[in-house]
C-alpha cells in the first residue's frame, strides 16, 4: 500500500514520521498517485478539507482506499470532519481520527489498522 499526506502545522508529518512510512507529501495537490493509497490529512478551518487535498483527490481519488485524519478537539463538532467528508465523497472508510500529532497509543492503533488494509 502507498501513502500520501498533507501537513500544514507538522502534526500529520509527525504521525508519518512516527510510523516510519515512506509517503508522498501533498504540497500543491498536483502530485500524482497511480496506485492504491491511504491518505493522511489534517482538518482545515472549521471542518474543511484542505484545498491542496481537494485538488489532489480530484486527480487521484479513484485510487483512494481510506483516510486517516488529524484534528483538534477544541473545534468541537468540526473535529476531524475533513476525514468524514472525504470518506463520504469517495466511498471509503475514515480509518482513524487522531488529536493533533497523536500519542503512542494512537500510533500503535494506526499501525494495527494499516497492517489490515489491502
Domain ranges across the chain? 2-116
> In DSSP terms, which residues pair with 70 in a beta bridge?
42, 98
The answer to whether the beta carbons of residues 37 and 61 sit under 8 Å apart is: no
φ and ψ of 79, to 5 deg: -55, 115
Q: What percent of the chain has pLDDT over 70?
A: 99
Mean pLDDT of all residues in 29-50: 96
CATH class of 2-116: alpha beta
pLDDT digits 0-9 by tens, 78-90: 999 999 999 999 9
Model pLDDT, residue 27: 96
Give the lowest-confidence range in 2-6, 23-27, 62-66, 74-78: 74-78
Mean pLDDT of all residues in 49-69: 98
Question: In whole angstroms, how far apart are CA 49 and each of 32, 40, 41, 52, 79?
Answer: 18, 12, 8, 9, 12
Amino acid at each position: 500500500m502507498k501513502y500520501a499526506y498533507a501537513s500544514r502545522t507538522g502534526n500529520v508529518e509527525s504521525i508519518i514520521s512516527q510510523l516510519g512510512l515512506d509517503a508522498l507529501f501533498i504540497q500543491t495537490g498536483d502530485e500524482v498517485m497511480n496506485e492504491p493509497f491511504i491518505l493522511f490529512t489534517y482538518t482545515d478551518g472549521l471542518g474543511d478539507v484542505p484545498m491542496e487535498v481537494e485538488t489532489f483527490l480530484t486527480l487521484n481519488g479513484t485510487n483512494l482506499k481510506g483516510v486517516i485524519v488529524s484534528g483538534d478537539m477544541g473545534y468541537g463538532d468540526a473535529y476531524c470532519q475533513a476525514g468524514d467528508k472525504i470518506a463520504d465523497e469517495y466511498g471509503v472508510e475514515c480509518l482513524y481520527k487522531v488529536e493533533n500529532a497523536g500519542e503512542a497509543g494512537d500510533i500503535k492503533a494506526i499501525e494495527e489498522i494499516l497492517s489490515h488494509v489491502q
